[in-house]
Chain A
Amino acid sequence: MLRRAHVLFILVCAALLGGALLGCAFGFAQLSGPEQSAADRSLAIVVNLSNPVSGLTTGDLRRVFLGERGHWPNGRRITLVMLESGWPERNAALSGIYHMDETEFNNHFLHGLFTGEVFVSPKTLSTPEGVRKFIFNVPGAIGYLRASDVDKTVKVIRIDERLPGDKGYKLHVPQRENR
């Protein structure tokens, strides 16, 4: 039994070492396989670099995304940014933040805008790059991106004090199939 554990430990170490070497083969700047995989599976909530907010609770995040809050603490108007239907990130946001499906989401905003309960109408972009650029251009914008799509032009905020990749981070997105 003890011998089998040793063998398993050695195999795990070898796998880690192999992964590290493979990572080195792709370049030091790139994330290693497991880290890359984690970044690829996490859904990051991103805001404009000028936004002073650095973190939200899950509840605040949901209220923001539901359009129930119109402005940030600095007075900037909140602009929601969504990806078009069909993107795994959108599905992950609907399930992880809204707890709704597409129909419920559409109904929520139609109804909310009609009744005045919702202050913000989400902007829909066709690509993650569009989302990132939109948020870069609009100081009050907030959206979501696969963690691996995030760059320095936007700011990732903590959700319940956790960043994507942290243990206990709740927002995940299925890994890309074409990778």
Chain B
Amino acid sequence: MGREKAEAMPDTSPSAAQTAGRFSRYSSALLLFFIFCAVTVVGLFAIRDLRRTDVQEQNMYTRSVQSLHRIADLEYQTQETRRSTLYSLSTADSNLHVKYADQSRAADHLVSEGIAEYLANARTPNEMDIGRRLGRDWSSYLSVRDEVLASILEGSTKEAVDLDLTRGVESFDQVRQDLAEIERVYDQQASQQLSTVDATSRRTIVRVAGVLAITLVATIASVWTIQKIRMTGAIQLAKLQMEFVASVSHELRTPLAVISSAADNIADGLVKGADDIKKYGAAIQNQSRQMTELVDQILLFSATKDRKNEAALRSLDVPKILHSVIQQTSELVRASGFQIELEIEPALPPVRGDATALARCLQNMVVNAVKYSGKSRWIGVKAFLSHSQFGGRAEVQVAVRDRGIGIATTELDRVFEPFYRSPAVVAEQIHGTGLGLSVSQNIAETMGGDLTVESELGAGSVFTLHLPIAEDSSSQVPLETQVDGTTEK
């Protein structure tokens, strides 16, 4: 029956197989989704960094070009200021003197504006210092220039030349040095900005490469994990099937050996007398029934596995089915010396289900209790109205309690797995296929219910069948029809 346990796998488990099944079902979609997310993230990072680099490059280019224009304009206008002044030396015409003086003053006005603009755009203390120094040096040169211009306009050419050579050249060189210093500062800033852009670009490449590598590793790991889980599941399934075959062979061989032995004895004429023949006939009959039950169990497991029987669900009367099951198992219970304590809550509402399947499920639960009750020889069956743990909907619960060997906590989750038999049960030589509880749980779930267990090792177990209440009780089927086809023990 249900708690007929097979030996547990030391390194793999059926739950892993189930997980593998669920995971492998969605593995491709998950993998695609994961790769999509990774590629999207990589793309976003790359786009963001590229845009940042682009903006930095544009800013750097704009600033460099503006700076170059500014410094070039300043250099040109300072030269123009001096050049126009010196042009005055080339003529004695006072009108031309005035014209050149005008040109020089216009140029020096532009230089002053350029210096003011430079100071307005200066961002570092160094730039400010250089700008202020340039302003001072330029004013100093202009004062010399004014005197040179005045001397030229007065007609004192020699005095103008002397003044320009002694003070003008020096002042103007100072201005040129300041402009060269500004140019150096611009070069340094451009180099720094270039370094920043270069660093950003390198960082972008490293980041993209890193994320791509992570994506690749994660993808490989995912594929490897999926393959491993699939392989584990396949191995587990193959092992369970082999164990099942071995178990079924063993379960079939025992009654066949009894039947064969009895038949040989009868054929050899060793059985004489009506009593002996009757005794041998009963043995053959009993063993044949065990074989039939085993085959039925396997067929039922196969039938309930696909859970496609919802069309057969009807409104059922639980007390009637329960009484019928108790009656059908009474022979077994009596033969085993058991006492069943039945308690049915009055006015239980009908449930939704398949009568044959429900009877089979309850029968499994009772027989299971008989098998594992040990020496207590007591089974309690109780049907009552309750509410489900999840969702709180009303349901009918049928609890089958025993005071037997109980189930270890570590095995509670595994007792419903098909073909599973615990080592302790195998050691006690309790025969079975490991399908009973699995079949019962499949039946319960097919009817929209559930089968749960509470147990304490050495104290006993309680298996509870949860059955949803039928919404429409008018389609209730007569008891004779409901229990038709149930297998008696």
Residue in contact with A125 in the complex, picked from B98, B146, B150, B154, CB distance below 8 Å: B98
Query: Judging by beta carbons under 8 Å apart, are B154 and A138 in contact?
Result: yes
Query: Judging by beta carbons under 8 Å apart, are A130 and B154 in contact?
Result: no
Residue in contact with B98 in the complex, picked from A77, A121, A134, CB distance below 8 Å: A134
Query: Judging by beta carbons under 8 Å apart, are A123 and B155 in contact?
Result: yes
Query: Judging by beta carbons under 8 Å apart, are B95 and A79 in contact?
Result: no
Closest residue of chain B to A122 (Cβ to Cβ) is B94
Closest residue of chain B to A127 (Cβ to Cβ) is B95
Interface residues of A in 120-141 (CB under 8 A from B): 121, 123-127, 130, 133-134, 137-141
Where chain B touches its partner, the secondary structure class is helix
In the complex, B466 has a CB within 8 A of chain A: no
Residues on A with C-beta less than 8 A from B296 are none
Query: Judging by beta carbons under 8 Å apart, are B150 and A123 in contact?
Result: no
In the complex, B97 has a CB within 8 A of chain A: yes
Residues on A with C-beta less than 8 A from B102 are 133
Residue in contact with B150 in the complex, picked from A124, A127, A139, CB distance below 8 Å: A139
Query: Judging by beta carbons under 8 Å apart, are B154 and A77 in contact?
Result: yes
Report the Cα distance A126→B95, complex, angstroms: 7
Closest residue of chain A to B104 (Cβ to Cβ) is A137
B86 to chain A, nearest CB (A): 15
Query: Judging by beta carbons under 8 Å apart, are A123 and B101 in contact?
Result: no
Residue total for B at the interface (Cβ-Cβ under 8 A): 13
Report the Cα distance A91→B46, complex, angstroms: 84
Interface residues of B in 152-171 (CB under 8 A from A): 153-156
CB within 8 Å for A130 and B94 given contacts A121-B155, A123-B155, A137-B101: yes
Report the Cα distance A121→B153, complex, angstroms: 12
Residue in contact with B95 in the complex, picked from A125, A140, A141, CB distance below 8 Å: A125
Centre residue among A81, A124, A133, A138 by max chain B CB count within 10 A: A138
Query: Judging by beta carbons under 8 Å apart, are B155 and A134 in contact?
Result: no
B392 to chain A, nearest CB (A): 94
Mask for A132-171, Cβ within 8 A of B = 1, else 0?
0110011111000000000000000000000000000000
Query: Judging by beta carbons under 8 Å apart, are A137 and B94 in contact?
Result: no
Residues on B with C-beta less than 8 A from A121 are 155
Report the Cα distance A133→B154, complex, angstroms: 13
Report the Cα distance A127→B149, complex, angstroms: 19
Query: Judging by beta carbons under 8 Å apart, are B154 and A79 in contact?
Result: yes
Query: Judging by beta carbons under 8 Å apart, are B149 and A137 in contact?
Result: yes
Mask for B140-154, Cβ within 8 A of A = 1, else 0?
000000100110011
Residue in contact with A137 in the complex, picked from B95, B150, B155, B156, CB distance below 8 Å: B150
Query: Judging by beta carbons under 8 Å apart, are A123 and B149 in contact?
Result: no
B150 to chain A, nearest CB (A): 5
